[in-house]
Structure 1
Amino acid sequence: MTAIGLRLATAADSEYCFRLHKAAMGAYVTAIWGWDEQVQRDVHARVFSPGQWQIITTEGADAGMLHVEHRPTEIYLARIELHPDHQGRGIGSQLIRSLLLQARQQGRDLALDVLVVNQRAQALYQRLGLHEVTRHGANDIKIRMSTKPPQPGPIHRS
């Protein structure tokens, strides 16, 4: 297994996180909304949260970012992005398994949202035991997934 470290993001990590987002998620953003550099920079400036985001490190290098919210009934994986150079090495799986264990120990569910066009991530989350709960957003572009067992009947779409 690859040794993984986490450190709190600082203001100095802002540009790294923006470039990481572009490298890891640019194709998915483009497929849904189109990539507008200034719009994406403006969104990043609004959401970048040093002190809450963590930088994923491996082998002494920055490899990605993680943002987890601890909510009353669930642990919400708000964002996990790995640079393409570090994908496919089990890093994301290892981090998510750790969150799954933490959620189980605390009697909570693990939940996240994934873009409908990101089938690779959906497959990973399913392999790790998450289930589709609902689709939401304009044109149902996001899928809410959770460890909470799916309810009988059709998947709710909002």
Structure 2
Amino acid sequence: MTAIGLRPATAADEAYCFRLHKAAMGAYITAIWGWDERVQSDFHTRAFARDRWQIITADGADVGILHVEHRPTEIYLARIEIHPDHQGRGIGSRLIRTLLHQAHQHGQNLTLDVLAINHRAQALYQHLGLHEVARHGENNIKIRMSTRPPQHSPIHRS
């Protein structure tokens, strides 16, 4: 079994994190907004939070990014990106299962947002027990998923 670890991101990881983001999310971003290297680089520079991001390692090699926010009523998975060369090996699943366990232990929900066109990630999250609770963003491009039970509105019939 692969040894998975987390280490704090450092300033030296900023360029790695951008390359990883481009490899893991570039196709989705291109499909929705188009990829403009300068715009994406500027966005990444503003978003890079070495004090909150962790680098995911597998057998000692850097393979991804994790950003988790522990909020009063939920654990919010703000970002999990695994390099495509390491996807499908259970790394993300194991990390998410750990977060699910933490949320359960604290009586909280695990919540995240996923791009609507990222069907592979949605399938993984559903397999792990999360479900859609809302859509948001321009043209509903993001899906909020959570362990929180979905709110069903009453059906009104005339």
Structure 2: 5+ residue runs without aligned partners? none
**How far, CA to CA, are the matches of 1:92 and 1:2 in structure 2?**
12
**How far, CA to CA, are the matches of 2:64 and 2:152 in structure 1?**
36
Q: How many positions carry a matched residue from both structures?
A: 154
- In the other structure, the counterpart of 2:145 is 145
Sequence identity (%): 77
Residue identity matched to 1:111: T
CA drift of 1:50 comes to 0.5
TM-score by length of 1: 0.96
**How far, CA to CA, are the matches of 1:142 and 1:73 in structure 2?**
21
- In the other structure, the counterpart of 1:128 is 128
Residue identity matched to 2:52: Q
CA drift of 1:153 comes to 3.2
- In the other structure, the counterpart of 1:110 is 110
Instruction: Give 1:42-121 correspondences, 5 Å limit.
Output: 42-121=42-121
SS at match of 1:2: coil
CA drift of 1:69 comes to 0.3
Does 1:14 find its partner at 2:11? no
CA drift of 1:118 comes to 0.3
Residue identity matched to 2:116: V
CA RMSD, Structure 1 to Structure 2 (Å): 0.9
Largest Rg, 1 or 2: 2
**How far, CA to CA, are the matches of 1:121 and 1:103 in structure 2?**
20
**How far, CA to CA, are the matches of 2:108 and 2:126 in structure 1?**
18
**How far, CA to CA, are the matches of 1:153 and 1:29 in structure 2?**
32
TM-score by length of 2: 0.96
Moved over 3 A (4+): none
**How far, CA to CA, are the matches of 2:131 and 2:100 in structure 1?**
13
**How far, CA to CA, are the matches of 2:3 and 2:70 in structure 1?**
24
CA drift of 1:2 comes to 1.9
Structure 1: 5+ residue runs without aligned partners? none
**How far, CA to CA, are the matches of 1:96 and 1:44 in structure 2?**
23
